[in-house]
Homo-oligomer: A and B are copies of this chain.
Amino acid sequence: MTLRLHNFFRSSTSTRLRVALNLKGLEYDYVAYVLRKNQHRSPEYLALNPAGLVPALELEDGTVLTQSLAIIEWLDETYPDPPLLPTDPLGRARVRSLAYMVAFEIHPLNNLRVLNWLGTQFDADDDAVAQWFVHWVTATFDPLEAMLAGSRETGQFCHGDAPTLADICLYSQIWNNQRFSIPIETWPTIARIFSDLDGLPAFRNAAPPNQPDAE
């Protein structure tokens, strides 16, 4: 099966999907879109994904899957080894909940189109945009740190000693945070997990600076 990944090196939802593909040992063709140049709003891409968002995963038969976490659940159901979720329902709920704290409470507020809109709609300058970004990261990372540090289910990674969906979301978000120089040391458990994740080739090779379209 030849997979085509439509994505952008710096997009953290794209990073999530690259990590998942790497963990599953799946090769893919890398198709890059420069968001700043609105390449993801071209008629060609909108025909592929009417939502006009990256990433999208195109299967060999032309089927196009959208929404990073929907695609990752599909990957996990279709290529179960290694699993990205635990087998027990309560463990799955914990992993999804940690993943969604990052994916729902931070990322949607801090992606490029929202930051741009703050500028055009509210005349936000760079400092105001940075303050917005840091605010939403902190509002979630503070309780996330407490939940990770306070649970015996946290291991080397967010849930036990194998990477899961929660680690995929966390790792990708931290690359995003670095654009605003947010010091990870504020959250020691998160910092420790990030450091260990960054030592795994599946994660490291998916990181923004290591992509062919990196600037």
Most interface-central of A52, A114, A135 (chain B CB within 10 A): A114
With an 8 A cutoff between CB atoms, is A196 at the interface? no
With an 8 A cutoff between CB atoms, is A202 at the interface? no
With an 8 A cutoff between CB atoms, is A147 at the interface? yes
Most interface-central of A99, A100, A123, A150 (chain B CB within 10 A): A100
- Please give the count of copies of this chain that the complex contains: 2
Verify B104–A105 contact, CB threshold 8 A.
Answer: no
With an 8 A cutoff between CB atoms, is A89 at the interface? yes
Main secondary structure of the interface of A (DSSP, over half): helix
Verify A50–B104 contact, CB threshold 8 A.
Answer: no
With an 8 A cutoff between CB atoms, is A180 at the interface? no
With an 8 A cutoff between CB atoms, is A78 at the interface? yes
Verify B100–A50 contact, CB threshold 8 A.
Answer: no
Verify B146–A67 contact, CB threshold 8 A.
Answer: no
Chain B contacts of A74 at CB under 8 A? 89-90, 92-93, 96
With an 8 A cutoff between CB atoms, is A97 at the interface? yes
Verify A78–B89 contact, CB threshold 8 A.
Answer: yes
A-B contact pairs, 30 of them (CB 8 A): A50-B146, A50-B147, A50-B150, A51-B140, A51-B143, A51-B144, A51-B147, A52-B143, A53-B105, A65-B93, A66-B97, A67-B104, A69-B96, A69-B104, A70-B97, A70-B99, A70-B100, A71-B97, A74-B89, A74-B93, A78-B89, A104-B104, A108-B109, A109-B109, A109-B114, A117-B132, A121-B132, A122-B122, A122-B123, A122-B124
